[in-house]
Amino acid sequence: MPKPIGIFDSGVGGTSIWKEVTKMLPNERTIYLADSANAPYGEKSKEEILRLSIKNTEYLLGQGCKIVLVACNTATTNAIDYLRSHYNVPFIGIEPAIKPAALHTKTKKVGVLATKGTLSSSLFHNTSKLFAEGITVLEQEGKGLVELIEAGKIQSKEMKTLLRGFLQPMLDQNIDCLVLGCTHYPYLMPVLKDILPEHINIIDSGEAVARQTKAVLEQHQLLSDFDGDPEHIFYTNADVEVLKDLVDRPTAQVAYLDF
């Protein structure tokens, strides 16, 4: 049996990345950890984010994972350098898609919706500096969004009120691209499309991360040649039903795990 791809996130949001990865790599087994009991990571200290990231990584490696995908912007920006230097498997990280936004914007104004932990990280600021020269990057902390998504309240009145409050100041500044800087946020796409004008380009990292995962597996000769329906195992330390609703695939096994 081929070794699985390990994926962890502060909760259910990283399943948006899992969907892109399994679409591009249909022969791969996966194990997904949703650390929903500790969500959101964006409100925590760097030390706490690192501790949780180590805990998640060590569980996945204990399950025989051949690669670890850190499907959380906050964990990537605060912990991935440590993880890469301390564990002998490849790591794939997530960071806000500043580069494609900078390439696509015509107004030279780009909005970034992300967690406090991502926006305050040195990796985010270095990425912005590197790719957004001559571009105005308007940052907005999505305070409260992850909690509502984790509670299954994506279409709630409270969610729409929060998003309108976050987006209007960026629209007033004439953004034409909105970067989703948290893997939970692609699940807000239907709500965002209702709120935002049609010309706003909404950009997330999912497909790019899937391409990078495939490239790294090829580079390390770790691609699976499994012929059949590979198993996908999901663990959460919170509400199993929220995770089941988002995954919704016959071969997926979703279970509660106190980790």
HEC readout, 177-227: EEEEECCCHHHHHHHHHHHCCCCCEEECCHHHHHHHHHHHHHHCCCCCCCC
Euclidean distance between CA atoms 145 and 188, whole angstroms: 9
DSSP assigned state of 254: E
Sign of the C-alpha dihedral computed for residues 178, 183, 188 and 190 taken in this order: positive
In angstroms, how far is the first alpha carbon of the chain from the final one? Answer: 25
Residue positions annotated with a catalytic role: 72, 182
- Are the beta carbons of 29 and 3 closer than 8 angstroms? yes
Closest CA to 40 of 180, 187, 183: 183
- Are the beta carbons of 68 and 89 closer than 8 angstroms? yes
Closest CA to 32 of 22, 23, 43: 22
Closest CA to 159 of 146, 169, 171, 172: 146
C-alpha dist (Å) from residue 158 to 165, 167, 185, 226: 11, 14, 15, 44
